[in-house]
Amino acid sequence: MTALPRTDISIFGRWWWTVDRWTLSALVAVSAIGIVLTMAASPAVAARLDLDAFHFIRRQFLFIPLSFAILIGVSLLNPAGVRRLAVLGFIISVIGLGLTLFIGQEIRGAARWISLPGFSLQPSEFVKPCFAVVAAWMFSQWRIKGDIPGHAVATALYALVAGLLLLQPDVGMTILISVVWGVQFFLAGLPMLLVLGIGILFIAGGIGAYFNFAHVQTRVDRFFDPAGGEAYQVARSLEAVVAGGIFGRGPGEGEVKSILPDAHADFIFAVAAEEFGLITGLLIVALFAFIVLRGFALVMRDTDLFVQLAVAGLLVQFGLQALINMASTINLMPTKGMTLPFISYGGSSMAAMALGMGMVLALTRERPRANDLSRFTGRGAP
Amino acid sequence: MTDSSHSRRVHLEGARKEALATSRSRLVVTSVLFAVAFAVISGRLVELAVFEDPQARATATASRTVVQSKSRADILDRNGILLATSVPTASVYANPRHLLDARDAARRIVTVFPEVNEERLFRRLNSERTFVWIRRNITPNQQFAINALGLPGIYFRRTERRVYPHGSLTSHVVGTTDIDAKGLTGIERSFDGPLQESEQALALSLDVRVQSVVRRALNTAIEKFSAVGGAGIVVDVTNGEVLALVSLPDFEPHFGGDVTAEARFNRVTKGVYEMGSTFKLFTTAMALDTRTIGLNGGFDATKPLRVARFVINDYHAKKRWLSVPEILVHSSNIGAAKMGVAVGTKTQQAYLHALGLTRKARLELPEIGVPLIPSPWRKISTMTISYGHGIAVSPLQMANGVAALVNGGILRDATLALSAPGAVPAGVQVIKTGTSIKMRRLMRLVVRRGTGKNAEVEGYLVGGKTGTADKPGPGGYAASRRVISSFVGAFPIDRPRYVVLAMLDEPKGTAETFGYATGGWVAAPVVREIVAALGPMMGMAPSTETERLPRPGDPLHIAAGKPSQTAGNQRVRGQSVRGPSRATH
pLDDT in tens, B143-187: 999 989 888 888 888 888 889 999 899 999 999 888 878 888 899
What average pLDDT does range B35-50 have in this prediction?
Answer: 91
The predicted-structure confidence for B199-227, as pLDDT tens digits, reads as follows: 788 999 999 999 999 999 999 999 999 99
Residue of A300 and A373 predicted with greater confidence? A300
The residue-averaged pLDDT of B481-497 equals 90
**Domain-located, residue A2:** no
Q: Specify the pLDDT at position B479.
A: 56
Q: Quick one: pLDDT at residue B526? A: 95
Of B3, B18, B31, B47, which to mutate for an interface test with A (greatest number of A Cβ within 10 Å)? B31
* Residue scoring higher pLDDT (A5 or A310): A310
Judge whether A53 lies within some domain.
yes
Distances (CA, A) of B155 to A46, B122, B123, B576: 20, 16, 18, 67
Q: Choose among A292, A330, A382: nearest Cβ to B45.
A: A330
B436 is catalytic: no
In 10 A of CB B383, how many CB atoms?
A: 29
Contacts of B482 (CB under 8 A, 6+ apart): B470, B471, B473, B506
Domains in chain B: boundaries: 75-95+128-203, 211-584
pLDDT of residue A106: 65
Residue type, A46: A
More confidently predicted of A211 and A164: A164
Confidence of residue A211 (pLDDT cuts 50, 70, 90): confident
Size of the A and B interface in Cβ pairs below 8 Å? 123
Residue A381 lies in a domain: no
| Least confident span in A182-191, B312-321, B493-502 | B312-321
What are B309-333's pLDDT values in tens digits? 788 888 767 888 889 999 999 889 9
Q: Is residue A249 part of a domain?
A: no
**In B, which residues are within 8 Å of A140 by CB distance?**
19
Instruction: Check: CB of residue A131 under 8 Å from CB of residue A184.
Output: no
**pLDDT for position A82:** 92
In a domain, A318, yes or no: yes
Give dist(CA A11, CA B35) in Å, integer.
Answer: 35
Cα distance from B154 to chain A (closest Cα, Å)?
16
Between B225 and A5, the higher pLDDT residue: B225
Instruction: Judge whether A186 is closer than 8 Å to chain B, CB to CB.
Output: yes
**A74-125 pLDDT per residue, tens:** 999 988 999 999 999 999 999 988 888 877 666 666 667 776 666 677 888 8
Phi-psi region of B105 (alpha: psi -120 to 50; beta: other; left: phi over 0): alpha
In sequence order, the 6+-apart residues with CB closer than 8 A to the CB of A245 are A277, A278, B49, B50, B54
As a whole-number percent, the residues of chain B with pLDDT over 70 amount to 88
Count Cα atoms within 13 angstroms, Cβ side, for B524.
31
Share of residues in chain A with pLDDT > 70 (%) = 88
Residue B548 has pLDDT above 50, yes or no: yes
**For residue B451, pLDDT beyond 70:** yes
Q: What is the pLDDT of residue B577?
A: 36
**C-alpha to C-alpha distance for B367 and B378, rounded to whole angstroms:** 30
Range of the domain at A185: 11-200+285-370
pLDDT bin (cut points 50, 70, 90) of residue A195 is confident
Q: pLDDT at residue B564 above 50?
A: no
Amino acid at A143: R
pLDDT at position A107 is 64
Which residue from B38, B48, B49 is facing A285, i.e. has the nearest CB? B38
The answer to whether B369 touches B405, Cβ cutoff 8 Å, is no
Q: Which of B86, B205, B277, B485 is catalytic?
A: B277
- The torsion angles phi and psi of A40, rounded to 5 degrees, stand at -75, -45
Give the integer Cα–Cα distance in Å for B404 and B408: 7
Q: Residue B545: CA atoms inside 13 Å, Cβ hemisphere, count?
A: 7
Whether the Cβ atoms of residue A224 and residue A331 lie closer than 8 Å to each other: no
Give the integer Cα–Cα distance in Å for B550 and B554: 6
Contact at CB, B27 and A143, closer than 8 angstroms: no
* Cross-chain residue pair B49–A273, CB shorter than 8 Å: yes
Q: How far is A331 from chain B (nearest CA, A)?
A: 9
Position A158 scores a pLDDT of 92
Let me know if residue A205 belongs to a domain: no
- Closest partner residue to B23 (CB to CB) among A238, A243, A308 is A308
pLDDT at B485 (0 to 100): 93
Task: Quote the CA–CA distance of B98 and B167 in Å, as a whole number.
Answer: 40
- Residue B10 pLDDT level (bands cut at 50, 70, 90): low
CA dist A311 → A183, A299, B15 (Å): 11, 7, 20
What is the dotted CATH code of the domain comprising B75-95+128-203?
3.90.1310.10
The reply to whether residue A144 touches residue B19, judged by beta carbons under 8 angstroms, is yes
Per DSSP, the residues of B46-113 read HIIIIIS-HHHHHHHHHHHHHHHHSPPPPEE-TT--EEEEEEEEEEEEE-GGG-S-HHHHHHHHHHH-
pLDDT at A221 over 90: no
d(CA B247, CA B503): 10
pLDDT given for residue B2 in this prediction: 52
Q: Does the model's ipTM exceed the 0.90 cut? A: no
Q: Which residue of B has its CA nearest to A183?
A: B30
pLDDT for res B88: 85
List, for residues A117-153, the tens digit of each pLDDT value.
666 778 888 999 999 999 999 988 888 776 778 888 8
Of A50, A239, A375, the CB nearest to B57: A239
- The total domain count for chain A is 1
- Give the model confidence (pLDDT) of B420-446 as tens digits: 887 888 889 999 999 999 999 999 999
Q: What pLDDT, on a 0 to 100 scale, did the predictor assign at position B474?
A: 65
Q: Is residue A309 situated within a structural domain?
A: yes
Determine the average pLDDT of the residues in B535-544.
86
* The dihedral sign for the CA sequence B356, B362, B365, B366: positive
CATH of domain B211-584: 3.40.710.10
Predicted confidence band of residue B66 (pLDDT cuts 50, 70, 90): very low
Task: Collect all residues of chain A within an 8 Å Cβ-Cβ radius of residue B34.
Answer: 289, 292-293, 296, 316, 319, 323
Task: Give the strand pairing for B202-203 and B75-76.
Answer: parallel
Exposed, middle or buried by CB within 10 Å (0-12, 13-18, 19+), for A171? buried
Whether A239 sits inside 8 A of B38 (CB atoms) is no
* Residue in A274, A39, A130, A260 with CA at minimum distance from that of residue A31: A39
